[in-house]
Structure 1
Amino acid sequence: MHFQHASDLWQDFPQLAPGVICTRGITADASVDRPVAAFGAAAAERLSGTQESGLPEVRAWRRAFGAMGLKPTQYRCASESLLRRFRKEGSLPRIHPLIDLCNAASIAYGIPVGVFDLTLISGDLEVRYADGDEVYETFGGAEEHPDPREVIFADEARRAHARRWTNRQSGYSAVRAGTSDVLIVIEALHESAPADVAKLTDALSAELRAIWQAEPVSAILSRSAPTFAC
């Protein structure tokens, strides 16, 4: 499959810096205690001097949500929501080793990280503006349609695998106990995003190798090289 952001999205958000990882052989029996603790400590240190809303990574996504007509305090990017919960509770719930790892990395860097089960994506996956007739499945199993011009992750079957860009993924392609092959998408908009996304992509790739003995393939995308093959 191929992953990319639509050209008009690049035009509207030229500061976008995406990192992408494709990996196979994930299992649900791995231990991620070490990296989760290390990433959590990094997040706690960053939050010791400011709340999540003060981080440049989060501020950039708030500006983007505002530009899309969304109230930033009503619809938060995934990393802000995780940081907010981590600040209040001191930890994040454990869901699946890979999700736990990616959530912990997300709060350490303040950058949204999406994880998709590749076997549940039909054809190519594109981040684009919605037409409004695509189908989105919630984690509770209910079906919704995105608003026209809402940014979604859409496959060739016109299924939306995420709504409001980095706000919420779909339950349809969420990682489960039997998931093996995944696509990890990292997106940032702040000033130092290209360097920070590269560091986060490298850090997650290293952990995938260490924990699952995986052979991840990764790339940093750009407006001139927007497509990734998995």
Structure 2
Amino acid sequence: MFFQHSPEVWAAHPGLVAGLLYAEGVAGKPRADLPLAELHAAARQRLTGGTEASFPEIQAWRRAFARMGLAPTRYRCASESLLRRLRTDGELPEVHPLVDLGNAVSAAYAIPVGILDVARIGGGIEVRSARGDERYLTFAGAEEHPDPGEVIFADPDGRAHARRWTNRQSGWSAVRDDTATILVVVEAMHDGAARDVPRVLDAIAGELARGWSAPSRTALLTPTAQRFEF
């Protein structure tokens, strides 16, 4: 299996820093408490200095969405949506331990974190422009087709595992109760991304080891090393 960005994506977004994490043996509940409260508190503390829209991590994704022709305040990257919900509702919903961990880390670092069930992504994922005939499954179970030119997570079977890049994940490969092997995708474009993306990977890897005794394999993708195989 593989994960990669198309050359077109790298050319259009040269500031992209992408980190990948592969882990097996993460089924069931963690055997140690996850630091969700601490991560949420870190995000709330940062929000006391201004809304999420002022964060450089979020501003970089807003500029990227604008370059893609998307209204940044209509289509928000995942980390901005989480921070906005945390600021307005005071908390994040509990979904699944792995998802809750990814969401908490994403909010604390203001960086999008996607977690995919490896058993459900076919032969691999390429982040590329959509043709328009790919199939996207909403969490409500409805099928959609991405707009031509929209950046998606595409597998070789024509399924879109994310729409509008970091805006909305698909139900195809969402974490479920029987998920045992995961691929974590961390992407950022702000000036400190090369420093922060490895920190996000380390934070997640540490909690997977502590909670599930699961070792992780990580990698950083670059324009000269565009593919992660697992």
TM-score norm. by structure 2 comes to: 0.98
Distance between the aligned counterparts of 2:31 and 2:111, measured in 1? 23
User: Aligned AA for 1:19?
Assistant: G
Q: Which residue matches 2:190? A: 190
Q: How much has 1:166 moved relative to structure 2?
A: 0.2
C-alpha distance after superposition, 1:74-94 (max 9, x if no partner): 100000000000011111000
Q: Which residue matches 1:20? A: 20
Where in structure 2 are the equivalents of 1:115-134 lying within 5 Å?
115-134=115-134
Distance between the aligned counterparts of 2:183 and 2:99, measured in 1? 12
Whether the 8 Å CA contact 1:32–1:97 is kept in 2: the answer is no
Whether the 8 Å CA contact 2:31–2:212 is kept in 1: the answer is no
Distance between the aligned counterparts of 2:29 and 2:68, measured in 1? 40
| 1:106 match: secondary structure | helix
C-alpha distance after superposition, 1:12-32 (max 9, x if no partner): 000000010000111232267
Where in structure 2 are the equivalents of 1:45-64 lying within 5 Å?
45-64=45-64
Distance between the aligned counterparts of 2:107 and 2:162, measured in 1? 19
User: Aligned AA for 1:137?
Assistant: L
Whether the 8 Å CA contact 2:32–2:210 is kept in 1: the answer is no
Where in structure 2 are the equivalents of 1:173-184 lying within 5 Å?
173-184=173-184
Distance between the aligned counterparts of 2:137 and 2:7, measured in 1? 26
C-alpha distance after superposition, 1:156-200 (max 9, x if no partner): 101000000000000111001111111100000111111100111
Whether the 8 Å CA contact 1:32–1:101 is kept in 2: the answer is no
User: Aligned AA for 1:213?
Assistant: S
Is residue 66 from structure 1 mapped to residue 79 from structure 2 by the alignment?
no
Distance between the aligned counterparts of 1:29 and 1:85, measured in 2? 25
Q: How much has 1:137 moved relative to structure 2?
A: 0.5
Paired-residue identity, %: 54
Is residue 9 from structure 1 mapped to residue 9 from structure 2 by the alignment?
yes
| 1:103 match: secondary structure | helix
Whether the 8 Å CA contact 1:4–1:125 is kept in 2: the answer is yes
Distance between the aligned counterparts of 2:12 and 2:193, measured in 1? 16
Q: Which residue matches 2:40? A: 40
Q: How much has 1:105 moved relative to structure 2?
A: 0.1
User: Aligned AA for 1:102?
Assistant: G
Distance between the aligned counterparts of 2:87 and 2:43, measured in 1? 9
| 1:75 match: secondary structure | coil
Q: Which residue matches 1:201? A: 201
TM-score norm. by structure 1 comes to: 0.98
User: Aligned AA for 1:224?
Assistant: T
Distance between the aligned counterparts of 2:11 and 2:36, measured in 1? 36
Distance between the aligned counterparts of 2:209 and 2:164, measured in 1? 31
Distance between the aligned counterparts of 2:11 and 2:109, measured in 1? 25
Distance between the aligned counterparts of 2:85 and 2:93, measured in 1? 10
Is residue 170 from structure 1 mapped to residue 173 from structure 2 by the alignment?
no
Where in structure 2 are the equivalents of 1:75-154 lying within 5 Å?
75-154=75-154
Gaps of at least 5 residues in structure 1 are none
Distance between the aligned counterparts of 1:35 and 1:185, measured in 2? 20
Whether the 8 Å CA contact 2:34–2:101 is kept in 1: the answer is no
User: Aligned AA for 1:17?
Assistant: V
Hey, which bits of structure 1, 4+ residues long, moved more than 2 A? Answer: 31-34
